[in-house]
Structure 1
Amino acid sequence: MQQSSKIKYLSSFIHFILSISIAIVPVYYVSYWFFINQYPIMSANSSPIEAHALPLEMQAIGFISSLLPLSTLILILLNVRKLFSYYKEGIVFSMTHVSLFKTTSRLLLLWVFLSIAYESGKSVIFSWSNPIGERGLSIGFGSEQLIVIIVATFIYVISWIVDEGRKLAEENQMTV
């Protein structure tokens, strides 16, 4: 019984943190594009970057391009929050859990592809004001994306495990 109350308490806390994240993440995206011209220019390499303000149209295009990965991220957070709302109520194995795990896994994979496209679009937006021949397109796949793909795979496997647990729980309920 004590283990169940720990799960419920921790699930309530995680549910709360996820709710805050759902509110903060869109604010971050909006402020990123709204204040983009106030951020210091940073370069990962030693080549100098020509400083210039990003026109309002490019800021708008950048923000609009961020909406797909942002929406996917919000859906992921909503799914995980819903999962913890069930744990908060003491519901551990259900078909809804299986569905939420599978959906979250697929959304994570979608987010990886959308974030690659978004980052590529950002590279074009940031170099658009450069003279022709000095504009750039950067397409990258790094360890962050690989980690998310691995996590998505783990979550999908967890959905199978939860489904088996659900079947066992149903069998135990029918046993007299």
Structure 2
Amino acid sequence: MLATLCLVAIPANLVLPALVWLFPQLSVALIDSLPPELPSDPAVLNAVPIAGKLGAYAAFALPAAILCFGFWRLAAMFQSFARGDVFSDTPISNLRVFALTLLLHSLLQPIAGAAASVFSTFHLGVGNRALTISVGSSDILALGLGALFLVLSWVLLEAVRIAQENQEFV
């Protein structure tokens, strides 16, 4: 079940932002989840030329792709758990990769938001363009969770190593 949720998160992470940019009038419910540096009024989003929309989406695409890779590895970890493979290198390395992708995503997200703010306001001309950088509580939480999962994967790998060492003595 958890692996399926992770696999569903992959296309959702790529498609939902595109829907906000391409069809802002249809995505009013998603507007509140936009980063604060982007316009939240559907009319303002509609006024952004297609090149600006594509540029803003592309700015968020790299962190989103990194997180999608992390979700794929997290799904693989849950699939290992479902097969009964809990304390081995495979699921633990999948957890480690997920942690690293979460850390990288949380570091790149504010940079992507800044680039998207430039793309979405570039058509306004000199003096009206904006470069805004925002770090929110969700970015800080993702950074903390990524660090926690990274340390947890390190501890689990050490526990597996110690268990294997103890088996060799018996």
TM-score (norm 2): 0.80
2:126 aligned partner = 132
Secondary structure at 1:153's aligned position in 2?
A: helix
Match of 1:163 among 157, 160, 169: 157
1:19 aligned partner = 7
Residue 84 in 1 paired to residue 78 in 2? yes
Residue 28 in 1 paired to residue 22 in 2? no
Residue 106 in 1 paired to residue 100 in 2? yes
State the AA in 2 paired with 1:58: G
Q: Distance in 2 between matches of 1:19 and 1:39?
A: 23
Q: Distance in 2 between matches of 1:65 and 1:113?
A: 13
Q: Is residue 96–residue 149 contact of structure 2 (8 Å, CA) maintained in 1? A: yes
Secondary structure at 1:17's aligned position in 2?
A: helix
**Larger Rg computed on CA atoms:** 1
Match of 2:87 among 85, 93, 97: 93
Measured against aligned partners, the alpha-carbon deviations of 1:40-59 in whole angstroms (never above 9, x if no partner) come to 688x7xxxx89461111112
Q: Is residue 86–residue 92 contact of structure 1 (8 Å, CA) maintained in 2? A: yes
Q: Is residue 97–residue 159 contact of structure 1 (8 Å, CA) maintained in 2? A: no
Q: Distance in 1 between matches of 2:4 and 2:100?
A: 24
Q: Is residue 37–residue 54 contact of structure 1 (8 Å, CA) maintained in 2? A: no
Secondary structure at 2:126's aligned position in 1?
A: coil
TM-score (norm 1): 0.78
Q: Is residue 37–residue 53 contact of structure 1 (8 Å, CA) maintained in 2? A: no
TM-fit CA distance, 1:102? 2.4
Secondary structure at 2:129's aligned position in 1?
A: coil
Secondary structure at 2:95's aligned position in 1?
A: helix
Q: Is residue 60–residue 112 contact of structure 2 (8 Å, CA) maintained in 1? A: yes
Secondary structure at 2:160's aligned position in 1?
A: helix
TM-fit CA distance, 1:120? 0.7
After TM superposition, which residue ranges in structure 1, 4 or more long, deviate above 3 angstroms?
Answer: 36-42, 49-52, 171-176
Residue 66 in 1 paired to residue 60 in 2? yes
Extract unaligned runs of 5+ from structure 1. Answer: 1-12
Q: Is residue 97–residue 162 contact of structure 1 (8 Å, CA) maintained in 2? A: no
1:23 and 1:136, CA in 2 relative to 1: closer, same or farther beyond 3 A? Answer: closer
1:167 and 1:116, CA in 2 relative to 1: closer, same or farther beyond 3 A? Answer: same
Measured against aligned partners, the alpha-carbon deviations of 1:48-93 in whole angstroms (never above 9, x if no partner) come to x894611111122122222201111101101111111110110111
Secondary structure at 1:141's aligned position in 2?
A: coil
* Fraction of identical pairs, as percent: 24
Q: Distance in 1 between matches of 2:103 and 2:160?
A: 25
